[in-house]
Structure 1
């Protein structure tokens, strides 16, 4: 992990989060509650770092993370569009499972759901572009290797699970099953992660 301060935010809630539909890299908007969560995180960041002068602002290019970042930056009283995106911060790609409910996948392919339950960290869903959490962790680690200064990052639950795995040394099973909140900021500094 880099020797700097990073404030992470998961994107605000989407209707697919509420219904437990698998999003992965599908482009889904945040809902009204998600907008409030993003505003809350923006207010918190403003109280911590003011207008973020000297911070790099980066988000996943998916719409839900960009919308969250823009709301955060608006609450910080800075240009909402003055940030960059990085594809390495996109959510884990669930391949052919994206857009489906887990219960529907379980009805169609119970053996695959069982295989995933046994090793969620390394399981790769069907589909040409599908990834495991381990694969996601490799691209997030690649992004982290380039972080050189204070950063505000808006990303996804899967990416944050890999951050916990790297920083806290969690085994894959525990990391893959961590609940990741959408209404708090995750603060990284001096090798420690703290929810704010």
Structure 2
């Protein structure tokens, strides 16, 4: 079977995104801009389906269980004129856990533990704060999710899981992916061994 096509959408903006705070597994709702970004992603997705002659009812739809991803998926499906709540959840798509750093800005993390902060900046893929995850762990669960896909899929999740998926598929390295910006309101199309962004 050929590798599945994935239409990947990062959730829209939240107030913590706007303030530069790490969210991790905290449930922070979309703000007004985030809802607009989610709707825009739905419009982009509709255009891609029309361009490619895709029947939206033949694709699987799955989201991270965190509220900001679910709200984004429901706004996306609304733009597609599909029942908003008719999609699956998969915990393997949740955001990377930041442990004791969740809710903090970069400056606050650095002030609280300069040595750990410096280590994490140098080795982002393998170093985690107390109670958090490494990107290696996120990559493992995202790989597990990807390997179980049986159909082309629309996935709504997070910046961290997008980076991990890119590394898992050999599209980026841990070094190049660690600080790669993942745009909100865009659709990342994983297909034919590559990834393209539409915004």
Between the aligned partners of 2:191 and 2:27, the Cα distance in structure 1 is 31
CA contact (8 A) 2:171 2:194 kept: no
Q: Is the 8 A contact 1:167 1:193 kept in 2?
A: no
Q: Is the 8 A contact 2:21 2:104 kept in 1?
A: yes
Gaps of 5+ in 2: none
Q: Which moved more, 1:94-103 or 1:18-27?
A: 94-103
Note the aligned Cα RMSD (angstroms): 1.2
Aligned counterpart in structure 1 of residue 178 of structure 2, from 172, 176, 179:
176
Return the match for 1:132 from 104, 119, 134: 134
Alignment correspondent of 2:10: 10
Task: State TM-score, norm by structure 2.
Answer: 0.93
Normalization by structure 1: what TM-score? Answer: 0.95
Question: Deviations along 1:8-45, whole A, 9 cap, x unmatched?
Answer: 00000111011111100000111111111110111111
Residues of 1 paired with 2:128 and 2:110: CA distance? 15
The verdict on how the C-alpha distance between 1:74 and 1:187 changes in structure 2, with shifts beyond 3 A counting, is same
Quote the residue 1:105 is aligned against.
109
Q: Secondary structure of 1:183's match?
A: coil
1:19 aligns with 2:23: no
Taking the aligned partners of 2:77 and 2:171, their CA distance within structure 1 comes to 32
Preserved CA contact (<8 Å) 1:65 1:155: yes
Q: Structure 1 stretches of 5 or more lacking a match?
A: none
Q: CA deviation at 1:103?
A: 1.0
